[in-house]
Structure 1
Amino acid sequence: MAVLAGIAAAATTARADASAPELKARIIVRALLFAQWPAAVLQPGQTLVMCLAEEHPLAGAVARQDGQMINGHRLQLRRGATDPSKQCHVALVGPNERAPMAQRRHGLLRVGDVLGGLKDDVMVNVQVELGRVVFDVNLKAAREDGLEIDTRLLRLARFVQQD
């Protein structure tokens, strides 16, 4: 419940003590607590690898989340991965890139922070709207790629795409 409260509080308002990139990064990492990967993709105790482009606007904020424990998995950030579909469990899709079909892989959670991100097969998209940090979930894309998103997170989402 504390994690859900943290997501809700972070999503409510962009506070003066935390920038929008910091809040987005926190929400993305906390959202990982509610994602379930297929056992063949992420084994118990295995490192959870998040890939992001070196120049991604959230790179610095996400890097400060490196090493956190996510449901028994240590979060490891990998910057500048050339093909996240082969090396990662989570791919942070940048504002100047789409989630290319090459990145579509069973068990790869694609997250983003751009307007209309769900249209690019992003599964969790975080953005600032009217001074609030909000997130949307593309449940259909997640399920198509073998991922499950806990209903507790779905209830906090601004929008959930199901079909």
Structure 2
Amino acid sequence: MHRLTKRFRPGARFNNCLFLLLFSLLLNCQQLAIGKSIIDNHVEEYRVKAAFIYNFIAFTQWSEISGPTLDLCLYGEDNFGPEIDLLQTRPVNQLSIKVTRLSDLQHLQNCHVLFISRSEAESLTSILGQSQGKNILTIADSQSAASKGVIINMHLDENKVKFEINLKSARNAGLNINARLLQLATRVYQ
């Protein structure tokens, strides 16, 4: 009986199903009942992207995180405003999220997650070179960023936020992306 209890954890299965339901709703139902897109302005777009980032963090495993915080660093123009700071009130996997805005990449080694703003798209290759070999989840919202090596890239498609994943880059960074997240991606680069 004890072995069966260890293998079958109804609570874990319920949480996984609940996540898939909520995340699928976020992905597929980003429209109001009246048919007007909720992503009709810049603020709404980045509010939804902040929610996506939280879910990306929740379904990524790092090989090692020491300390009680998971450091989310923003590099480049901050389009999120205070919206991204709200993630600091929501723990993930028993860790607090700490949001830091970087003006340069000198403190990149302190980051577990690096969001690279569109304003830095021209420097993407250089930025990725500096994060190479580090246990950092890179996220962007620039055209073709995943094909260039960013681990998760968000984009708008018919006013809905969608994302693609570069699995090879994730493996090179020592990160494990949950299979459920991979299933929801519009494209997975191997």
Smaller-chain TM-score bracket: 0.7 to 0.9
**Matched residues in 1 for 2:70 and 2:117: separation?**
19
The CA deviation at 1:91 is 0.3
Change (3 A) 1:61 1:105: farther
**Matched residues in 1 for 2:118 and 2:148: separation?**
11
Percent of paired sites with the same residue: 25
Q: Which residue of 1 aligns with 2:68?
A: 46
Q: Which moved more, 1:20-29 or 1:50-59?
A: 50-59
TM-score by length of 1: 0.87
Q: Which residue of 2 aligns with 1:130?
A: 158
**Matched residues in 2 for 1:130 and 1:13: separation?**
12
**Matched residues in 1 for 2:80 and 2:149: separation?**
19
Q: Which residue of 2 aligns with 1:64?
A: 86
**Matched residues in 2 for 1:140 and 1:36: separation?**
15
| RMSD, aligned CA | 1.9
The structure 2 residue matched to 1:2, chosen from 13, 18, 39, is 18
The CA deviation at 1:56 is 2.3
Q: Which residue of 1 aligns with 2:113?
A: 90
**Matched residues in 2 for 1:133 and 1:11: separation?**
7
Contact 1:50 1:78 in 2 (8 A): yes
Code of the residue aligned with 1:38 in structure 2: it is: S
TM-score by length of 2: 0.76
The CA deviation at 1:59 is 4.2
Residue ranges of structure 1 left out of the alignment (5+ in a row): none
**Matched residues in 2 for 1:15 and 1:24: separation?**
15
Return the structure number with greater relative CO, CA threshold 8 A, min gap 6: 1
Residue ranges of structure 2 left out of the alignment (5+ in a row): 1-16, 33-37
The CA deviation at 1:63 is 1.9
The structure 2 residue matched to 1:22, chosen from 47, 51, 54, is 47
The CA deviation at 1:81 is 5.1
**Matched residues in 2 for 1:116 and 1:27: separation?**
18
Code of the residue aligned with 2:50 in structure 1: it is: A
Change (3 A) 1:86 1:57: same
**Matched residues in 2 for 1:54 and 1:38: separation?**
27
Correspondence list, 1:95-110, <5 A: 95-97=118-120, 98=124, 99-110=127-138
User: Paired residues, what number?
Assistant: 159
**Matched residues in 1 for 2:92 and 2:128: separation?**
26
Indicate the structure with greater helix content: 2
**Matched residues in 2 for 1:133 and 1:147: separation?**
23
